[in-house]
Amino acid sequence: MERTLVLLKPDAMVRGFAGKIIARFEDAALKIVGIKMKQMDAEFTRRHYFDLEERLGAEVYNLTSTFMQQGPVIALVLEGFDAVATVRKIVGSTYPNEAPAGTVRGDFSHYSRGASTASGKAVANLVHASGNKAEADQELELWFDKDELHDYRTLAEIFTY
């Protein structure tokens, strides 16, 4: 079994999509083993996006940081076989206008890189999903203490795995 982190970003929260997005993960037989709501402050945002400025520059980091601090997020720990890859498939491309129909971003957003550049705003793409197993492990450690994670079996798990 593999675990991964998903954040429902402020745009998902203010648009009332939390339940719809979570249902998509559960429909794919991913199990929620941790969940919390958090308002990210500047220090925590820096810890979460520790390498974003180095990879994409100060402007992208600043836009993303401001965006993530504008409202609460829901953090989920999802568990299942190939959880990282499965979640990435469910959420779709980073840029919603490139995400296929049937994905979270493809169905609920249409924002593009060009729109972000033109507006000077971060890409409103509803969710953050760990990009690989190493990133998931690092993010899970940042977001959740071990006593906040739960082991249990679901009916779907009994029949699926």
Q: Among 14-18, 24-28, 85-89, 119-123, name the one with the lowest average pLDDT.
A: 119-123
| Domain span including residue 110 | 2-160
Q: Tell me the pLDDT tens digit for each residue of 120-146.
A: 889 999 999 999 999 999 999 999 999
**Residue 156's pLDDT band (boundaries 50, 70, 90)?**
confident
Q: Which of 48, 110, 128, 150 is catalytic?
A: 128
Number of domains in the chain: 1
CB atoms within 10 A of CB 72: 16
Residue 142 sits in a domain whose CATH number is 3.30.70.141
128 is catalytic: yes
What is the rounded CA–CA span in Å between residue 66 and residue 61?
9
- The reported pLDDT for the residue numbered 114 is 87
**Residue 111's pLDDT band (boundaries 50, 70, 90)?**
confident
